[in-house]
Structure formats: structure tokens, C-alpha cells
Structure 1
Amino acid sequence: MSKSVKEPKPDWIRIKLTTGENYEDIKNMMRSKTLHTVCEEARCPNIYECWANRTATFMILGDICTRACRFCAVNTGMPTELDLGEPERVAEATENMNLRHCVVTSVARDDLKDGGATIFAETIKAIRARTPLCSVEVLIPDFLGDADSLQIVMDAKPDILNHNIETVERMSDRVRAKAKYRRSLELLQRAKSMQPEIPTKSSIMLGVGEEWDEILQAMDDLRAVNCDILTIGQYLQPSPSHLRVEKYYPPELFAELKVEGMKRGFSHVESGPLVRSSYHAHDQVKSAKGNKEGVQTLS
């Protein structure tokens, strides 16, 4: 493994600070409805851009995660309650924001029998009831591999099923807590078998010690379980207590990985230093749909 990077972030890691009216409106809405966003809790570098464009990723099931992944800034501990009114409040916020595409993720809730799957399903249904034209993407935890929990989510028929492998297989146990690389692949494969028409999506972050050929292998592993959409971004250390950045990848290497991904058959690859799983999510869906239809037309 290479030595940890200690120099300042390179100049291509730039965050645009935009805190205008839209940003403040969304911030106030989240607070008034007692909602959480992964944008804030995970310290996403794109929060200013996304909120200025009136897009956000809702984080349900509270703001305390039962896991302590070494890359993630979300608070860890033992949650004390389950908010059954949360799905309706997320739906209200989605309606107020007039969203065309809504992303819903969560903390890991290993303390719950179904891992929070029922709340995911209820959130999907509540959003559809209020904004039927809004597509719904869910970014789910692995539910400790429980197929029944996954079935609950898939039966609610999200428009996109997203589950992140996060890193290459060799680095997985070091980077993630409890989650297993092969179990994540199995989840994506099961989701496809349960609802073949629903696109699946996953994400890889770079800079934690992986090698180039391992990144390509991770792509191959995802395609082997028919994953449709891939996002690739640069890992940024959220605090001194988290994993250090081992390497900063320049934009041209992200561009090369996009080409590699499209060659392997992903319907869409979003790849760049500041790309995160839900970054430009609505555009990803449109691009993936167009590419998939194009492939079907040619076949």
C-alpha cells in the first residue's frame, strides 16, 4: 500500500459555495419537518450546488447509524426510537420541493428486525401518493443479507435500487463495518431477480488504497450481477479520525474509468472527483434510460 497523502488537496478538488435563497429554503424545510439529509450528515462536498438547485437526498430512520464505517461521517451509536411519521414528512417535503426525482437513503439500523425496510417501503408509497410523477430512487443498506427485508423494498417498486459496494474487494473489510463485498453483490443480484425491470445502481470511491486492476475487477463484478448504473468518486477524509486519503485521482483518470465502465455495458457511468452516489441522480436516470433503449434498438 502506498504512503498516505499528506499534501493539500489538489486544485481539481474544488467546492462551489452557493448559499442563496434556494439553499436556505431547503435547509429551513428540513429543519421544520425534522428531517435529515445525507448531504449534511455525511458532509457531502456537493451540498451547496445541489441545494442551490433544489435537490437533496433524504436520510430516513434517524441520524444515528449502528455501524461505524471508517470512511463515513454519519454519527454512530444505538438509535433509541423509530419515527413512523417520517415517510409522510419526506413525501410532504418532496411535494413542496416539486421534485422530479427523489433519492431516499438511510443509516444502517441493525437494531431493527427488518433493518428499516418497512419504513423505506412506506416512504416510497407516501411519495408516490403525493407526487406520482416523481421517480423514486432508494439507496439501501445491506439489511445484513436478509432477503425478506430486501423483498419488502422491492415490492414497493422504487424506480432505482441503489446499494453501494463502496470499494474494491481487498479493501472492503478495512473500509466498511459489518458490510461484506460479496454480500453486497448478492443483494444487487437478488434485487434484479425480484424485479428485473428495476435498474440497479452502485458506487465506488477511490483513494483508500486500491489498485487500478482492482477497480476494473469491481466493475466486472458489478456487471456480473447485472448492475446498470455506476458512480465513481474521490474519497475525501471527513475528519482526522477517519481513513486517510491514500491517493488523489486526477480528472483524466476518472474520465478513463467512465470509458472503461461504458465498455463493460453499464447503461450510465458518472465518474469524477466530486461525484457521489446521488450526484446528478435525475440526469443519470435519463442517460441510462436513453442508452439502454439505444442498445435494445440496435440488438
Structure 2
Amino acid sequence: MTVKPDWLRVKAPQRERVANVKEILRDLALNTVCEEASCPNIGECFNAGTATFLIMGPACTRACPYCDIDFEKKPKPLDPTEPGRLAEAIRRMRLNHVVITSVNRDDLPDGGASQFVRCIEAVRTISPQTTIEVLIPDLCGNWDALEIILQAAPEVLNHNTETVPSLYRRVRPQGNYDRTLELLNRSRQIAPWTYTKSGIMVGLGETDAEIRQVMRDLRTVDCDILTIGQYLQPSQKHLKVNEFIHPEQFTGWKVFGEELGFLQVVSSPLTRSSYHAEEVRELMERYPRSKSNEL
């Protein structure tokens, strides 16, 4: 794999804090995308006592060549105890904001929407002060399933765009760019009180013009929050990095995104879709929404 530039090097985590988080996760038999997807920020997030929980996994029904989550194992039936165990972990970690994501479960009629709802309800019961962000798959375009999730009223609905349209066939072969935009647009229409969010990874051969067009497209469907980060090759069997983008370019995209009207743009080489996700609580204070105060 290509040698990483200095700006992609991360500090060694504090072992005691990381070990404490891992102990909770192992004790409750929970998965995190931090571990399953080899996130470079795992040390920083675990040190801060945060994690992005991966439900219904860790086996995925899709084989995206950029992703380190396992797709060779057969997905297991949904575990009815998972929502309770997840809520207990959040209580123990005293999280103010939690991100709940999942593998793709195309084997399920609702894509796993019902399990997202059960997890949201369990968290609200045990930790009512915790704000909830769900990072969901495209549900194969099942908009009834999307509505089921949104009716549970997560504060943030996140669905990643991942890359530019010209690279979808190579990077996200089972995904669909227009379907991603439609999911975000329908989310805004179904639940205008929910903040919508999406993320893009760069360094796979896209152009600056293509990235900026994706940003315009996301604003067309009134997406509120955008993350942009550098793609890093998890192993030799995954897609290779085409280019390491300089931090100044990320700053330029942040400025452009703010000019387009995004409420928040998190753009840096190490940004991931859940990186510093807890900062959304500040955004919610600046731009409050509720069911009684719809857009």
C-alpha cells in the first residue's frame, strides 16, 4: 500500500481508556464500525468514550470493494436482545450522542428498519437525554421501511453518498447514486424535524468539479450536514488509493459547502461519517427543530 503522508498519521491512543470501552463492548457482545471497518480514529473516539455501534452484523450482504466489513460470512437472524444490550452500553459509557449504524441486510424484507426502531426505543427508555443519529443503508429503495425508521424520530438521519456518480460502478457496485439522493429527499419530506446528513470519501480518482457537483446535488435535496474524508485502503485486497488529498483542498470544500448552505461541513483527511458526530448537539441548539416546529 502507498505510504501515507504526515497529515494522515494519528496519535497513539491512551490504552486505559480504549481498554475500558472495549471491555464494555465485549461484555455486552456488541460490534462497532470503529473496529469492523478499521477506522483510523478509533483511538481518539474510544479515548473520548464514544463509539459508532454496528447492529445486525458484522456480516454484510454487499461486497463494496472499499469497505473492510466482512461480506463472506452468512448474516445471522436478528437478535432480540441486541437493542437492550446496546442501550446498556450507552448507559455505561454515559454518551450524550450516539451513532447507530448497520451492515446492509438485503436479506431482510425491511432491510433491518424494525431493528433500528427497536434500538432507538431501547436507548430512549434507558438514556432519554442521549441524542440519536442513525447511519442507514439504502434499504434497497424500500421507502416504507425508511418511514418506519423516521417515525421513531432519530435526531439525525445519515446516509452516505460515498463517491461521485462516475465511480459508483467501481466503488459502490450495488449502490445507486439517484437512490441515495432520493432517500435523503424523502427523509426531508417525511420528517422535516430530522437533520439529514451524508458523507463522501475522496482519493479514488474523482475530480474537484465532481465533488462540488455532488455537494450541489446534496443541497438540492436539502441535506443539512456533510462529511468529507480521505479514503484509506484497508488491505491489499481493497481498492487502491488513487491520491492523497492535501488538507488545503478539504478546507476549500468546507468553505464551498458552507456557501452552499450546509448547516455543518466536517472536512479533513481523517474525517469519517461519524467523526465528532457529537458536535451535532451544538448545531441543534443553533438551528432547533421539533415536530411542533416543522420546517
* TMscore range, shorter length: over 0.9
Matching residue of 1:71: 66
The partner residue of 2:125 within 117, 125, 129 is: 129
Matching residue of 1:15: 10
Q: How many residues align?
A: 288
> Contact 1:87/1:123 (CA < 8 Å) preserved in 2?
yes
Superposition map of 1:23-102 within 5 A: 23-77=18-72, 78-102=74-98
Matched AA of 1:247: E
Q: Percent identity?
A: 50
**Following TM superposition, by how much is the alpha carbon of 1:174 offset from its aligned partner in structure 2, in angstroms?**
1.1
CA offsets per residue over residues 90-110 of structure 1, 9 Å max, x none? 000001110000000000000
Q: SS in structure 2 opposite 1:12?
A: helix
Is 1:203 equivalent to 2:209 in the alignment?
A: no
Farther off after superposition, 12-21 or 231-240 = 12-21
Distance 1:288 1:237 in 2: 34
Q: SS in structure 1 opposite 2:199?
A: strand
Runs of 4+ in 1 over 2 A off after TM superposition: 287-293
Q: SS in structure 2 opposite 1:270?
A: strand
CA offsets per residue over residues 188-244 of structure 1, 9 Å max, x none? 001111101101000000001101100000000100001000000000000111111
Superposition map of 1:244-259 within 5 A: 244-259=240-255
TM-score (norm 1): 0.94
Is 1:222 equivalent to 2:218 in the alignment?
A: yes
Unpaired runs of 5+ residues, structure 1, are 1-5, 294-299
Distance 1:263 1:121 in 2: 35
> Contact 2:2/2:241 (CA < 8 Å) preserved in 1?
no
**Following TM superposition, by how much is the alpha carbon of 1:62 offset from its aligned partner in structure 2, in angstroms?**
1.6
Matched AA of 1:207: G
> Contact 1:267/1:288 (CA < 8 Å) preserved in 2?
no
**Following TM superposition, by how much is the alpha carbon of 1:131 offset from its aligned partner in structure 2, in angstroms?**
0.6
Unpaired runs of 5+ residues, structure 2, are 290-295
Distance 2:171 2:22 in 1: 30
1:270–1:284 distance in 2 versus 1, CA, 3 Å: farther
**Following TM superposition, by how much is the alpha carbon of 1:288 offset from its aligned partner in structure 2, in angstroms?**
6.0
Distance 2:151 2:35 in 1: 29
Matched AA of 1:253: Q
**Following TM superposition, by how much is the alpha carbon of 1:48 offset from its aligned partner in structure 2, in angstroms?**
0.3
The partner residue of 1:164 within 160, 165, 169 is: 160
Root mean square deviation, CA, Å:
1.3
TM-score (norm 2): 0.95
Distance 2:276 2:165 in 1: 26
Matched AA of 1:62: G
> Contact 1:270/1:284 (CA < 8 Å) preserved in 2?
no
**Following TM superposition, by how much is the alpha carbon of 1:7 offset from its aligned partner in structure 2, in angstroms?**
4.3
> Contact 1:169/1:181 (CA < 8 Å) preserved in 2?
yes
Distance 1:135 1:58 in 2: 14
1:238–1:82 distance in 2 versus 1, CA, 3 Å: same
**Following TM superposition, by how much is the alpha carbon of 1:290 offset from its aligned partner in structure 2, in angstroms?**
2.3
1:174–1:292 distance in 2 versus 1, CA, 3 Å: farther
Distance 1:19 1:171 in 2: 38
